[in-house]
Every structure is written in C-alpha cells, then in structure tokens.
Amino acid sequence: MQKDRDIILLLTGSTFFAWRSMMMKKAWNFRAWIAAAGLALSTVATLGSAIPLLDIANSQLLPEALTLGVIGDSEQPGIVNHTGGGFLQAVELPTVNEFAEAPGCYLACYSRLADNSVYPIGDGIYVMGQFRVAGQYGLDQHSARTCVPKGQEGIAIDADAHLKAECTRLFPKACPDEACWVGGDTGGFFGIQ
C-alpha cells in the first residue's frame, strides 16, 4: 500500500519557497517544517529515502493546544490542520500527552453534548478533546489513520469503560459522568489519509 510511503510535506508559504530553493541547488538533505495547526513537528528526509508517514505519526507528540480551522457549518462541518481565510472560526483542541513513548497514537473523546465541545463532526456528535495512548496508526484494516490502542487490536473501543473513564478524568467539564466515548480516527492530524 502507498500509505507507508507517504511523507509529511505540508508545505505552504515561505516553507515551500525555502524547500524549492534547496531542491534547485540539488541539496541532498532538507528539513520540511509542517505548516499544519502550528505543529512543532519536523520531518527530515534524504532524497530517495524518506521517513514513512506512519513512523512519524506513531512517534511524534501533538501540541497540547492544537489549533484547527473549522469550515462548513454545523450540518456539514469540516476541520483543517491550519487556520486562515475562509474559516468560520479557529478552535483549540485540548490534547493530553501523558503517554509520551513510542509507539503511541491519539484517541478522541466524543459526546452528544454540545456544551464545552470543541467542534461538531455531524449527526449531533461533538469532539471534546483527545489523549495519547500506547498504540499505533496503520493497524486497522479499514483505515490507516485510525489509532489502535495496544492490546485492543480488532476490538471495538467505543464502549470500553476504562477509556470512557479516561475521557471523564482528562476532560471533566466536557465529559461529565462518562458522557463521552472514544474513537481513534485522529491520524488526519498527521496527514494520514
């Protein structure tokens, strides 16, 4: 599959021109800073052998206040990894990095309660925050961008009582009384399709 060969190169603005200039000089190494959501991640590649995207996603931490752009409306919302013109609003997604080892991935806390939510994803469901766990992207047979917690391969995690309790512990105002459930579709923040 092509997913293992994807490279994070979200180049915009001056980053693109710096990269283009380096490539025109036939530089053998280059550093591309991710211009998405203010991420402080970088990826280093050598021409001909790039670091696979999944390796980066499974080892890098996202910022604790991940800034995203909301597009569309509450009926058909969309989220992009940056802010700029044309967005309804910029939002900060609370991100907890208690687990900082590799491999790790992020689980999102979802709720039907609009109060204290960060953004809607549709059908009356809202994202409340996300947290990092031991696990990996790229293990789910249906989607490489889904976080699969360690030891829960092939198991539905949305009803897991321990993970629901984690949402309540980490985001008590947004997820009171275990009003949230978890989902692993968070690899898009790393550019995984």
99-153 per-position pLDDT tens digit: 999 999 999 999 999 999 999 988 999 999 999 999 999 988 888 999 999 999 9
The dihedrals phi and psi of 123, each to the nearest 5 degrees, come to 55, 35
Residuewise pLDDT in 10s, the chain (193 residues):
333 323 232 322 222 222 222 333 333 222 222 333 233 233 333 333 356 889 999 999 999 989 888 776 656 667 676 556 665 678 899 999 999 999 999 999 999 999 999 999 889 999 999 999 999 999 888 889 999 999 999 899 999 999 999 999 999 999 999 899 999 999 998 888 8
> Distance (Å, rounded) from C-alpha 179 to C-alpha 191?
29
| DSSP 8-state symbol, 55 | H
Task: State the pTM of this model.
Answer: 0.72
Cβ(133)–Cβ(101) below 8 Å: no
Stated length of the chain = 193
> Distance (Å, rounded) from C-alpha 147 to C-alpha 167?
16
> Distance (Å, rounded) from C-alpha 11 to C-alpha 17?
9
Amino acid 140 reads D
Cβ(73)–Cβ(107) below 8 Å: no
Q: What is the pLDDT of residue 89?
A: 77
Q: Where are the domains of the chain?
A: 2-57, 65-190
Closest CA to 34 of 190, 185, 145, 188: 190
